[in-house]
Structure 1
Amino acid sequence: MPPLNALKGFEAAARLLSFRKAADELNVTHVAISHQVRQLEDDLGCALFLREGRTVALTEEGRVFYDYARQALETLVTGAGIIRRHGPDADLRIETYITVAIRWLSPRLSRFHAAHPEINFSLNTRRTEWWFDETNTDVAIMYLDRDLPGSLRARTLFEGTLYPVCSPSILGDLSPVVTPADLFGLPLIEVSSAPNDWRDWFRAAGVENVPALRYTKVDTYALALEMAITGAGVAMLNGPFAEEELRRRELVLPVDLVARSRGEWAVLYRADRERDRKIRAFTDWLVADVANEHSHAGPAARGT
């Protein structure tokens, strides 16, 4: 193994093509950089630089070794950063979609903090479809409709459920019993990241030949839900994100059909961090909290 300080000095000198600039960057003397490079050359048994007065250039061996030295140091920096972020005083970094954060997770976080006051956490959201960020996220709450890579683990929270919701006022001109086909004449709201939701729901309702429909397209379920509340159209939801509005009759199911979607909602984390104390505490608590709520949830949450 080449000396680490010599690797740092070589990498800076090779990147900057200057021993003096490398010395300034690393806050050491020009002589120290020269000594480190010479030590590395003696260790490898070849010249890494061509020295011509105050200018230096990499030899062929130096150009080859620079790529390996840079990758090695970048890997060490990344690893050190991960360890620092995962330390006992670091926040538990939670990431999810904005709809999940606003409509489902945020009310739970105060209960989690009451149960585990020793764990601080940060919550980050994204608006559109994304995948697990293994570098910047500890746990994520996601919709899974694909196989997981071996580097990740998942614990199911609840099944994906598709169901239309709308304001009672939008049904004023329809008969008391609304059929799936009756929705063809209403303004429908589609979430752009989930373009199959309406088609999958109509198929579950026994409607195979869906006519060409016009949708108002939005980028999140949260926005679709707010538009439905104001009477702007019928939104298709996936997951228990409208339970309060359904209980208060601010929203209704125009057709009493909740269909299974193609995936499930789950909490994810890296496989190599399965025994992490904070991750285990959060995932265990969240799974138990969902199970307790599921036992007396409404039909949209249960998928029945």
Structure 2
Amino acid sequence: MAYNKQPSAPPQAPPIQYLPAFVAAAQLGSFRAAAQQLNVTPSAISQQIKSLEQRIGLSLFSRQGKELQLSQAGEEFFSFAAHSLGHYQQGWQGFAEQFLSPQIRISMTDYVANRIIIPRLADFMEHSGIPLEIHTSSRNQNLQANTLDAAIRFGTPPWPEHHARVISDAQVAMVASPEYWRQHPLTCRQHWQHQTLIHARRVTNDWQRLEQSQGYTITARQQLMFDSYETAIEAAKAGLGIMLASFPTSNQELRSGVLQAHSEKRFSSGEHFYLITKPNDHKEKRYQQLFSWLSAVFAEL
């Protein structure tokens, strides 16, 4: 009668706590140097490596006189042990930044950062004690796919897996430089054919929304496309055309006179300014402080 021999189970992996001593000794070529780096005694390093070798059943180091070298097995073990330890340390750093750090990493457009947040940032950090790390982007960032905690967005929900708080309502109005309005008056429909329309977003056609609210098609002389609100505002200030500015964020440009609204009439954009946050119970109280501050700032614009 024949019996099928069952393959023996592979040995269990040694405990991961042995890896720092082994990797340090392999990289530095010295138990003493590894001990100094890890703030332990040389005998502790020697004992951990001895225990590691006993668990594996192989010698990981060989000595050529006074020189400490990896054995063939040691070199193979080091190739994945160092990678595993580095991956763990990198993962821990991300975990600590997300759940243990008081800092909030927040994304926003250049315009919001430069005109609204940065001029008031010192006051917020002084009174809240919350350090902000500001990232600027004209694109909506997926908070779940990176280390960001929050974002200030102009748009409409939903944003899956994010918590959205309304900072401020938004309206739009046609604005241009005073010189542009002098050279290109807009007092009747026929005047549209002499106008240049500035677009601040490539994905959303804000002028098309205005057409729908006005009930007629706008036929302009030319269109200028920009991928950010910041550059669109600068183009309007330079007298290149008309743009649909968002309020209350652009109140400053009107008060300073660098831009003028076509009329006092403003239109509902159907969008709002939001604080978007990544779910995190550890930072929820800080999110709420940030939201309260942003709401007050936008209300005063």
**TM-score under structure 1 normalisation?**
0.67
Q: Once the two structures are superposed, what CA deviation does each residue of 1:208-252 show, in whole Å capped at 9, x if it has no partner?
A: 58679431x444323322332342321233442222333565533
| Aligned sequence identity (%) | 23
Partner of 1:37: 49
Q: Which has the larger radius of gyration?
A: 2
Task: Select 1:189's aligned residue among 190, 198, 203.
Answer: 198
Deviation at 1:63, TM superposition (A): 6.1
Any stretches of 5+ residues in structure 2 without a counterpart? 1-12, 64-68
- Aligned pairs for 1:151-170 within 5 A: 152-170=162-180
Partner of 2:277: 269
Deviation at 1:266, TM superposition (A): 0.9
Across the aligned residues of Structure 1 and Structure 2, the Cα RMSD in angstroms comes to: 4.3
CA contact (8 A) 1:47 1:62 kept: no
Deviation at 1:62, TM superposition (A): 7.0
Task: Select 1:243's aligned residue among 220, 245, 251.
Answer: 251
- Aligned pairs for 1:212-251 within 5 A: 213-215=222-224, 217-247=225-255, 250-251=258-259
Paired residues, what number? Answer: 280
- Aligned pairs for 1:101-120 within 5 A: 101-106=113-118, 108-109=120-121, 112=124, 117-119=127-129
Q: Once the two structures are superposed, what CA deviation does each residue of 1:179-232 show, in whole Å capped at 9, x if it has no partner?
A: 4x74342233233555533344334433458679431x4443233223323423
Partner of 2:154: 143
Deviation at 1:50, TM superposition (A): 4.8
Q: Once the two structures are superposed, what CA deviation does each residue of 1:80-125 show, in whole Å capped at 9, x if it has no partner?
A: 4556632xxxx65554222112333345546646xx7252544624
Distance 2:33 2:153 in 1: 45
CA contact (8 A) 2:167 2:295 kept: yes
Partner of 2:70: 55
Partner of 2:101: 85
| CA spacing shift, 1:188–1:48, aligned 2, 3 Å | farther
Structure 1, 118-127 or 60-69: larger mean CA deviation = 60-69
1:285 equivalent to 2:293? Answer yes
Distance 1:92 1:122 in 2: 5
Distance 1:267 1:103 in 2: 17
**TM-score under structure 2 normalisation?**
0.68
CA contact (8 A) 2:194 2:220 kept: no
Distance 2:23 2:93 in 1: 14
Distance 1:58 1:234 in 2: 71
Deviation at 1:172, TM superposition (A): 3.3
3-state secondary structure, aligned to 1:271: coil
3-state secondary structure, aligned to 2:215: coil
